[in-house]
A and B are shown apart, each in its own frame.
Chain A
Amino acid sequence: MEFDALLLSRLQFAFTIAFHILFPAFTIGLAAYLAVLEGLWLWTKRDAFRTLYLFWVKIFAISFGMGVVSGIVLSYQFGTNWSEFIRLTGGVIGPLLAYEVLTAFFLEASFLGVMLFGWKKVGPRLHFLATVLVAVGTTISAFWILSANSWMQTPQGFEVLPDGRFVATSFVEVIFNPSFPSRLAHMLLAAFLTTALVVGAASAWQLLRNRDQPESRIGLTMAVGLLAVVAPLQLLVGHWSGEVAKEHQPMKLAAIESYWESKANHPLVLFAIPDRATQSNHYEIAVPGAGIIVAPPDEVVQGLDAVPPEDQPPVFLVFWAFRVMVGLGLLMIGLGLWGAWLTWRKRLTDNRWFLRFAVAMGPAGFVAVIAGWIVTEVGRQPWVVYGVLRTADAVSPVTAGSVATSLLIYISVYAVVFAAGAIYILRLLDEGPDVGRVEPSPEGLRAPGTPLAAAPDEAPGDPK
């Protein structure tokens, strides 16, 4: 393996996008959760909802900022590292990215200012509207970027001109390409699950210390309710995604299941060390007959032998990333159902083993999201646009030295930013919802001698 500009650019893209996806995966769900909390507060006037809102909005502010800055990197990286990709396909994929900026980024960025700093500058209804618009913005953003990604997986609605450039023949077909609906549903549910797991873990952490912490009881109940419904649903949506891959990206499915031969009645491979050199699995543990969850009996499923080895995706990574994702998904279902059972028995906050399990599952959503994206993106290789444009033909005319330098810069900057951000978020989670009990002061002016005069002034976004 040679460390040329191509390999380094791939490593850099993998690193920067894996870092970035952590934040949208969390903030898409959290923005919706905040909108729900603020709505419930306006509707029921219960202070607990406001306290929860003011607590989670601080965490949102930190995560969102990190998502914004790591996202700008990606919009420029298409040009710095994958300029041939854009030169050739820009006329097709460009409008999707432009629409993401126009319909989502401005909406999020502008109303985020009001959401974080406008608590006392605008009325409660207008503030609620700002929160809702930020949440809507994050979802619109997911719509466009997943449409663009899905087009790269299952391209249609275009033709290639004699000079190699792509031109769209139908933008409706480009946007609503075959893998888009399932991918969008899968990612949005993943974002909700990630948020629910973090909210659940943070609440359980507080309840382990003080089982009567009122806001944490609400937080845990809401998280469990979402998990119990969405985690099983996600299993079905994930299966739908797999069906789409079987039809449109058979080599991705073959890598996921580590099927080397094209045949009917495959077993279900539970464990294996796939080896591209020998084109086979080592130490395979497979369940005969269980392959029916991949395909009905007697349906021939393409194996990796259907294409030459140079056209096969890296099997090991795809196979194992998929198993990590599914394993965590099953644990999420377990957490949701156990929690629902305890809620029904009115013992949700009493069972310390359940609370510990909920805390341990806090990061599971992030890990599953990254594993899922490894399946999606590595499974597409060696193509950048599946079956049409190779990754190797998409890279910029830059030197390996330049890319090595930039990769080093990204790694150092992200290490500092991530470490600090993680510390600040964990610190807030440890302090718990009490942080949200102090409302931002009206213009900071409080009568001296009142109880609040000694309390720290805090805006939802940033006390300092």
Chain B
Amino acid sequence: MSLDLPLIWAGLIATAVLLYVLLDGFDLGVGILFPFSRSKEDRDVMMNTVAPVWDGNETWLVLGGGGLLAAFPLAYSIVMPAFYLPVILMLAGLILRGVAFEFRFRGRARGRPFWTAMFAFGSILAAFAQGLILGGFIQGVTVVDDRFAGGTFDWFTPYTLLVAVGLVCGYALLGAAWLMWKTADELHGDARRWALIASVLTALFLLGVSLSTLVVHPVVAERWGWTGAGFDMDRFLPQLWIPLLGLIGFGLVGWGVAKASHGWPFVGAALVFLSGYAGLAAGFFPYVAPYAVDFRTAAAPDNALGLMLAGTAVILPLILAYSGWVYWVFRGKVTPEAGYH
């Protein structure tokens, strides 16, 4: 029996990107919420909840990018030029917020407020740019002769802007839920309020994006059985679990916020993202460069995929184990007294 290597790699990269979205999502979210915090001390605590883990979280983005390069070079070489400027903006945002972790602690009178602002600005910019890329991905990419052949600003449409703002709200929800989990007292109360507001906004944008996707994009609409006047239930019902999962997620967030719970809102927010992710996957599987190149066409030669899979099978469980261990080491609430002053 031979393994279906392209399919396995499509699954692995999809998993890496999902982990990235969930993990860096909450630490980007913490940055997005920075402008709403009350005091320097609160911001210190907020940053300390993610400081030991953000670097590991962001590595999933490198694996997503590097994995796409290695496993589906054709898709990588089409998608990156297609989203040239949003990718650059995302990287600029990630640079500014990434160095802010250290620089904010080193800065003095002028440096500290500047890097506080850069942490927020970079987080918002990175999240927004990721939203533009995501929206552009759903819109589809113009491909001629295995190369990107669209315009410089194809990714700039009302639809992609809607997705981008929605993603910023979604990350804010993850960040707020994370803070409810990791903080106590007054900050926990603030996080609770942020989670409420962010979940309402995320729900509205998710609904808006879902409906406009059906209108904007016929391929996705067809997948979901949307006929223009109603849903073809034979196509829609088997995928009904996806929106239901999202509803359960929002329900958990709402219930957790109402109860001033600690862990449940984060579980709920993660389910919301899982639902959105599954909805996308149902919309454009098997394309990796929508809607021109599918994952089989884009795949690297089997010997390359096989070589990587041999290593991944051993190393990925190890990575998951020690990443999990790091979270375990830094478990529990972060408070001003117990922090790293």
Contact = CB atoms under 8 A, between A and B. Distances in A.
Contact of A79 (B81, B115, B316, B337): B81
Contacts, number: 258
Contacts of B71: 94, 98
A397 B148 contact: yes
Interface in B288-341: 300-301, 303-304, 307-308, 311-312, 315-316, 319, 322-323, 326, 329-330, 337-341
Contacts of B51: 113, 116-117, 461-462
Nearest to A169: B303
A167 B85 contact: no
B340 A83 contact: no
Interface in A88-126: 89-92, 94-95, 97-103, 105-114, 116-118, 121-122
Given A97-B70, A98-B308, A168-B303, A458 B96 contact: no
Given A68-B55, A109-B58, A83 B76 contact: yes
A80 B106 contact: no
Interface string A400-428: 01100110011001100100110010011
Interface in B1-50: 44
Given A69-B98, A70-B95, A73-B95, A94 B304 contact: yes
B81 A76 contact: no
B102 A461 contact: yes
Given A75-B66, A109-B59, A443-B338, A427 B106 contact: yes
State the main secondary structure of chain B at its contact with A: helix
A402 B80 CA distance: 13
Contact of B73 (A90, A113, A424, A443): A90
B123 to A, nearest CB: 13
B65 interface: yes
A235 B103 CA distance: 37
Interface residues of B, number: 72
A351 B308 CA distance: 55
A95 B146 CA distance: 21
A167 B301 contact: yes
A118 B329 contact: yes
B255 interface: no
B81 A113 contact: no
B149 interface: yes
A62 B337 contact: no
Interface in A132-191: 167-168, 171
A352 interface: no
A458 B307 CA distance: 45
A459 B92 CA distance: 28
Interface in B89-123: 89, 91-92, 94-96, 98-99, 101-107, 111, 115
A61 B92 contact: no
Given A76-B87, A87-B147, A420 B81 contact: no
B81 A80 contact: yes
Interface in B49-83: 51-53, 55-56, 58-59, 61-63, 65-67, 69-71, 73-74, 76-81
A203 interface: no
A454 interface: no
B308 A417 contact: no
A463 B339 CA distance: 10
B84 interface: yes
B88 interface: yes
Nearest to B101: A65
Contacts of B147: 83-84, 87, 397
Contact of B341 (A69, A116, A463): A463
A421 B103 contact: yes
A91 B80 contact: no
A86 B301 contact: no
A338 B244 CA distance: 74
B148 A110 contact: no
A105 B77 contact: no
A109 B89 CA distance: 23
B72 to A, nearest CB: 8
A399 interface: yes
B146 to A, nearest CB: 7
Given A90-B73, A396-B77, 13 more contacts: A65-B98, A68-B58, A68-B98, A69-B95, A76-B91, A83-B77, A98-B63, A110-B319, A114-B326, A167-B303, A396-B148, A457-B341, A464-B104
24 contacts: A65-B101, A71-B62, A72-B95, A73-B91, A75-B69, A86-B77, A90-B300, A95-B70, A95-B304, A102-B63, A110-B56, A110-B322, A110-B323, A113-B56, A116-B51, A117-B51, A121-B330, A122-B329, A168-B304, A396-B81, A413-B92, A420-B111, A443-B338, A461-B102
Interface of B: 44, 51-53, 55-56, 58-59, 61-63, 65-67, 69-71, 73-74, 76-81, 84-85, 87-89, 91-92, 94-96, 98-99, 101-107, 111, 115, 146-149, 152, 300-301, 303-304, 307-308, 311-312, 315-316, 319, 322-323, 326, 329-330, 337-341
Which 8 A-B residue pairings sit nearest by Cβ, starting from the closest?
A: A90-B73, A79-B80, A94-B70, A457-B341, A113-B52, A83-B77, A87-B77, A464-B105
